[in-house]
Amino acid sequence: MISRRKFIQTTSLAGTCFLLTPEISKAGFFSGSPNNKVVLGMMGTNSRGLYLAQRFAGMPNVEIGYICDVDSKVVENTINEIFKITGKKPKGITDIRKMLEIKEIDAVVIAAPDHWHAPATIMACQAGKHVYVEKPGSHNPHEGEMAVAASKKYKRLVQMGIQRRSFANVQNMIKELHNGVIGRTYYAKGWYTNHRQTIGYGKEVAVPETLNYDLWQGPAPRMAYRDNLIHYNWHWLWNWGAGEALNNGTHELDVMRWGLGVDFPNKVVSTGGRFHFNDDWQTPDTQNIMYNFPNNTAAQWESRSCNGFEMEKLGRGVIFYGDKGTLVYDGGNGYQVYDGGNKPVKSVNDNTKVDATNKVSPTELLDELHLKNFIEAIRGSERLNCSIETGFKSTLLPQLGNISYRVDRVLQIDPSNGHILNDADAAKLWSREYEKGWEVKV
């Protein structure tokens, strides 16, 4: 009988080959039983990570073996929550590097802050682990490129958490767009709104005893601990986060890119600012990003982090415009099609509630489809719905928007690879500086 370890090694390789060269898998390269157990190590479990751990823990033959977080209180809480579900306590670890040394772990789930996403992904691939990494896939474009390279070099499956790629109605919506349900789709507009409050002005204080702040910062250049930083407000500070564009816009921009059938833009411009409050928040709370693509299409994404007035009666969503009609996507798992005279011709509904203001999971009841897809890809029975290659392209769109915002001008882009053309200042933001000893390499 095939052992669990041998099974995972065999089907992991098969899954990778399926990702890179589908014709190999079609030839029957997969082997092993889909009932074999998959052991997961969780990285970052305060909020979204706890939610993911709970969802994975409820799946057949999936074991949450290890919890890794830099806050000992978070580790203890997560262990107890998983015990309630499974009757078994995972082991707790503080340092991701130690967890990656554990041979029985098949895959790592990364829900740590954004500045950890790509470095941890790369480290995990190097350690022979498959990876589920939350969006955004990277803090900056260069890291995204390295994460893609690591997946290929070490032949590991890397799924990015853009879960709408696994929603059946959204998949069908994209097929309809590509089949001409509204004619030639040439423009897409997406948005996100919320009622976030001020983060105030943080004071430098002693680091809580339960928190390993040095490990929390990891590859990021060191900055003093402040009392308004952890566990959420780092999103709005450039050293660790990337603002609402990466925090939420990645989802809408992925759907828009998917629907328009594009990879990289040829022109990007962004405007906005921190308008609503005066505080430590550095990234824009109000932002517009415009894109032109080489197939004669365009897209726009708008966010209002601190004014939740809905657009089209939705807190988030996407509208596709074509030469024969319009399609409205509700941000969850439903959409409506209108003809050229604005008359409704089709409505695909899903009663699953979507809460755009939910910081943990706006599409909570649908997310498990994406998680199951990752597990089944490891087992060799499915293809990843959002590989890191796909995720990189969608993550790059808001990253380019942020770069345009920070240098305050239009960016000309090489549509073959997404790189910035003829702008040295903007090109500097393609990558970042790392804390000495934490440099990221593939």
| 25-29, 61-65, 227-231, 318-322: least confident range | 25-29
pLDDT tens-digit map of 32-59: 344 589 999 999 999 999 999 999 999 9
Helix (H) or strand (E) holding 123: helix 114-126
What's residue 26's pLDDT? Answer: 30
* Spatial separation of the C-alpha atoms in residues 239 and 222, rounded to whole Å: 9
pLDDT tens-digit map of 146-155: 999 999 999 9
pLDDT tens-digit map of 243-264: 999 999 999 999 999 999 999 9
**Burial class for 344, CB neighbours closer than 10 Å (0-12, 13-18, 19+):** exposed
Q: What is the dihedral of CA 105, 108, 111, 116, to 10 degrees?
A: 110
CA distances from 154 to 123, 237, 387 (A): 10, 32, 14
Confidence of residue 363 (pLDDT cuts 50, 70, 90): low
What's residue 350's pLDDT? Answer: 83
* Spatial separation of the C-alpha atoms in residues 441 and 183, rounded to whole Å: 45
Residue 7 has pLDDT above 60, yes or no: no
pLDDT tens-digit map of 328-344: 999 999 999 999 999 99
Q: Which residue has the higher pLDDT, 71 or 364?
A: 71
pTM of the model as a whole: 0.90
What's residue 361's pLDDT? Answer: 53
Domains and CATH numbers, the chain: 4-164 (3.40.50.720), 168-200+225-362+388-428 (3.30.360.10)
Burial 88-120 (b: 16+ CB within 10 A, else e): eebebbbebeebbeeeebbbbbbbbbbbbbbbb
pLDDT tens-digit map of 271-305: 999 999 999 999 999 999 999 999 999 999 999 99
Query: Do 270 and 298 touch, CB atoms closer than 8 A?
Result: no
